[in-house]
Amino acid sequence: MTTVGIDAVEIWAGKCKLDLPGTFAPAKDEDPDKYRKGLGLENSSFPDVYEDIVTMGANAAKRLMEREGLEPDDIGRIDVATESAFDNSKPVSTYIAGCLEEVYEDDFHHANKGERKFACIAGTQSIDDAYNWIKAGRNRGRSALVVATDTALYARGSSGEATQGAGAVAMLISEDPDLVELSTEQGYGSADETDFLKPNQQFPSVDGKRSMQVYLARMREAVEDFESVAWDMHPEDFTYIPFHTPFPGMVRKAGLLGYRHMIRDTEIEDDLAGEIGRQPREGEYEDWDAYEAAIRDYMDELKGTDRYQAWYADTIDPTLSIAREVGNWYTGSVHVARASALKAAAEQGRELAGEKLLVGSYGSGAQAEIHAETVADGWKEEIAQLNIDDQLEQRYDLDFEEYEQIHDVHNHDMTVDVEEFTTPEGEFVFAGRGRMNERLYEYVE
From the candidates 42, 181, 193, 244, give the one annotated as an active-site residue.
Answer: 244
The SS3 assignment for 380 reads helix
Q: Is 99 a catalytic residue?
A: no
Confidence of residue 421 (pLDDT cuts 50, 70, 90): very high
Question: How high is the pLDDT of residue 433?
Answer: 95
Q: How far apart are CA 216 and CA 210, in angstroms?
A: 10
From the candidates 83, 369, 373, 382, give the one annotated as an active-site residue.
Answer: 83
Q: What residues contact 444, with CB distance under 8 A and at least 6 apart?
A: 424, 425, 426, 427, 428, 429
Q: Tell me the average pLDDT across 232-242.
A: 97
Q: Is 244 a catalytic residue?
A: yes
Q: How far apart are CA 160 and CA 309, in angstroms?
A: 28
Cα angle 312, 273, 270 (rounded to 5 degrees) comes to 80
Segment 397-412, tens digit of pLDDT: 999 999 999 999 999 9
Q: Tell me the average pLDDT across 351-360.
A: 98
Q: How far apart are CA 384 and CA 264, in angstroms?
A: 37
Confidence of residue 6 (pLDDT cuts 50, 70, 90): very high
Percent of the chain scoring above 70 in pLDDT: 100
Q: Tell me the average pLDDT across 302-331.
A: 98
Confidence of residue 207 (pLDDT cuts 50, 70, 90): confident
The SS3 assignment for 435 reads coil
Is pTM beyond 0.75? Reply is yes
Segment 363-373, tens digit of pLDDT: 999 999 999 99
Is residue 53 within 8 A of residue 335, CB to CB? The reply is: no
Segment 97-131, tens digit of pLDDT: 999 999 999 999 999 999 999 999 999 999 999 99
Q: Is 120 a catalytic residue?
A: yes
Question: How high is the pLDDT of residue 1?
Answer: 64
Question: How high is the pLDDT of residue 280?
Answer: 94
Closest CA to 173 of 186, 182, 185: 182
Is residue 18 within 8 A of residue 24, CB to CB? The reply is: yes
Segment 167-198, tens digit of pLDDT: 999 999 999 999 999 999 999 999 999 999 99
Q: How far apart are CA 124 and CA 334, in angstroms?
A: 8
Question: How high is the pLDDT of residue 229?
Answer: 98
What average pLDDT does the structure give for the chain? Answer: 96
**For the stretch 192-223, what's the b/e string if a residue is b when 16 or more beta carbons lie within 10 angstroms of its beta carbon?**
ebebbbeeeeebbebbeeebbebbbbbbbbbb
Confidence of residue 2 (pLDDT cuts 50, 70, 90): confident
From the candidates 120, 193, 371, 410, give the one annotated as an active-site residue.
Answer: 120
- Give the number of other CB atoms < 10 A from CB of residue 403: 21
Question: How high is the pLDDT of residue 206?
Answer: 87
In the predicted structure, residue 154 carries a pLDDT above the cut 80: yes
**Strand extents, DSSP E, 203-281:** 205-206
In the predicted structure, residue 159 carries a pLDDT above the cut 90: no
